[in-house]
Structure 1
Amino acid sequence: MTPSTIGTDPDIAEAVATLYTDGIIGRKAAFSAEWADAMREDIEVAFEEARSRPDGAVGRGPKRYYVEMHPEQMRGWLELVDHPWVRGVCEAVLGPNYQIVELGFDVPGPGAKNQPWHRDFPMPDETRSAGRLTSLAFNATAVDTEENMGPFEIAPTTQWDLPEGFEHEMFPDKALYSRFEALAVRKYPRRGDISARSALTLHRGTANESDKSRPVLVLGVDSPGAGNAEHHDMAVTRGFYDSLPDRVKAHLVCPVVDELTPISQKHSIEGLMMGEA
């Protein structure tokens, strides 16, 4: 995918249109099931390490955790960020100088409760005034999602809802829930599928009534100046950085270091700590 072809690629054009209308778009079988299985192995290693130290994992509700990781902790990271559809969507929505700012994962475990409807951050001024999306969250499931595993639920079109009556501009009052529930769509991705969404689109994790965890990868990408990088501590080593194609290096704004340091989580969303318990 190159800048000259993005504008004429029907898959990318459809993705942009859908992101601006529904707030979420999926791509089936973007990767192999084997790629997703390797991702799950890497998530499990990172999750065990993160939970062994203070601030390694942050709660996002009962039995639900979020952990950030460095790109080198995921064997398939380069394949993810260099996928033509991912690059094309980033460039078309966020501009040619888009920035990769976050790599992490959510783990809703058995017993996780319904989350409150929420956004991941307040609506930026540019979105409010100019109707422009300035960030995207890509999600890749590590398992084949089943109905009782607490599937992700999203209310399409709500990325444009003004945050009137939203606590911290992120959490709508429960009096508004009937609107979101009327719009709500549950997602059942399978290993290898990927989605892109605006994190402003109202969403929630639902109750996991199974005996299985439902880990999902999160890749956060910004327009220049969007400001989400300050909430994350992603880094790469010099050797890893030097091994990357220039087209990927151009979108990394994280530090290049001699040695990686375990990440202490900064992107805590206080309103999600208790869920609906």
Structure 2
Amino acid sequence: MERLTNIVQSIDNITKYSATDIDNFAQELNRDGICVIPHLFEQNLIEEWLEAFKNLFYTRQNQPGGLAPREVSRYYLTLPWISPFANEWVFANPVIMEILQRVFYQEYVMVQLGVDVPFPGSDYQETHRDFRPLFCDRIVTPLYALAVNFPLVEVTPDNGPFQMARGTHLLPREVGLQKIASGEIPMESFYMQPGDVIVRSPLALHRGSPNQTNQPRPMVVMGYAMHWLHTPKVDLTLPQDYYDNLSAELRQMLRCKIVEQLPHEKVETYINFKY
């Protein structure tokens, strides 16, 4: 795939992150299976997304199949490709794109835009992966899929922080679980401010933790994968007029269904997601 030259401009001109910073993020991602980018998005953007998300969530609650259950008091929903969610500065953010270009060695596509939400009463998820290895656990799988997460509220010890064991994307699943159980590799909680972004390997062992507050904790997830990966459980649907106005590079990057008009009701299918 051609580089996104119309979107990915000189990093020095558009952000405080230098090319060296981007290199370091990519190295962390390869080594640890995760990197954290502080303060990537502005607060007004996060506030706009939060307000729109609240309205969408409560609408979906009243639709049959409008939310995908994720165990007790935890839900997932796909975001519609409308304002404010259809935002090139988010899904094709120059910093994120530069990191992906450093770790993906073939063409990649965006396949997912959704939100994971633990509510009060949620519990620990089973420690899991979001994808299987390409072949088997005896062969280290390169980074062929990545999740980009950012919260719409502050993530604290009490409202269900994402937890992950660094480096377990390079280990056989059972070895990773043993090292977590023995304490050799800690299950780390990631506390985040609105505007912070995580890029992570879905093969690293991780889990959601309980939300012990009285407010939901929405976490946006954007999924990117090598162009040859089959991803039937997630989908993007774009209106024709929006798609037509994108650059050729962005149209190539989005694996999506094109429709004249977005459906009024969405039935979620991304339910079985743990390996």
TM bracket (short chain): 0.7 to 0.9
1:105-141 Cα shifts (integer Å, max 9, x gaps): 0111112111111111222229964641101000010
Q: 2:78 aligns with which of 54, 60, 68?
A: 68
> Percent identity among equivalent residues?
26
Letter of the aligned partner of 2:203 in structure 1?
A: L
**Conserved? CA contact 1:139–1:195, under 8 Å:** yes
1:28-58 Cα shifts (integer Å, max 9, x gaps): 1101111111111222222122222222211
Q: 2:268 aligns with which of 244, 248, 265?
A: 265
| In structure 1, distance between residues paired with 2:84 and 2:145 | 22
Letter of the aligned partner of 1:225 in structure 2?
A: W
What corresponds to 1:30 in structure 2?
40
What corresponds to 1:242 in structure 2?
244
| In structure 2, distance between residues paired with 1:181 and 1:250 | 42
Q: 1:133 aligns with which of 143, 146, 149?
A: 143
3-state SS in 2 of match to 1:15: helix
Given the alignment of the two structures, is residue 99 of structure 1 paired with residue 109 of structure 2, yes or no? yes
Given the alignment of the two structures, is residue 17 of structure 1 paired with residue 17 of structure 2, yes or no? no
The aligned runs of 1:179-198 (5 Å cut-off) are 179=182, 182-198=185-201
Matched residues, number: 263
The aligned runs of 1:112-127 (5 Å cut-off) are 112-125=122-135
**Conserved? CA contact 1:109–1:213, under 8 Å:** yes
Q: 1:251 aligns with which of 239, 250, 253?
A: 253
**Conserved? CA contact 1:127–1:134, under 8 Å:** no
User: Which stretch shifts more, 254-263 or 189-198?
Assistant: 254-263
Q: TM-score, normalised by structure 2?
A: 0.86
Letter of the aligned partner of 1:160 in structure 2?
A: L
3-state SS in 1 of match to 2:159: coil
What corresponds to 1:221 in structure 2?
224
What corresponds to 1:204 in structure 2?
207
Shift of 1:4: 11
Letter of the aligned partner of 2:257 in structure 1?
A: P
| In structure 2, distance between residues paired with 1:75 and 1:158 | 32
**Conserved? CA contact 2:79–2:85, under 8 Å:** no
| In structure 1, distance between residues paired with 2:28 and 2:42 | 24
Letter of the aligned partner of 2:197 in structure 1?
A: I
| In structure 2, distance between residues paired with 1:245 and 1:164 | 44
What corresponds to 2:58 in structure 1?
48
3-state SS in 1 of match to 2:45: helix
**Conserved? CA contact 2:130–2:274, under 8 Å:** no
What corresponds to 1:275 in structure 2?
none
**Conserved? CA contact 1:105–1:215, under 8 Å:** yes
RMSD of Structure 2 on Structure 1 (CA): 2.7
Return 5+ residue gaps in structure 2 as ranges: 12-17
The aligned runs of 1:165-180 (5 Å cut-off) are 177-179=180-182
3-state SS in 2 of match to 1:196: strand
Shift of 1:97: 2.2
What corresponds to 1:169 in structure 2?
none
Q: TM-score, normalised by structure 1?
A: 0.85
3-state SS in 2 of match to 1:112: coil
| In structure 1, distance between residues paired with 2:180 and 2:72 | 21
| In structure 2, distance between residues paired with 1:54 and 1:222 | 30
Shift of 1:250: 2.1
Letter of the aligned partner of 2:258 in structure 1?
A: V
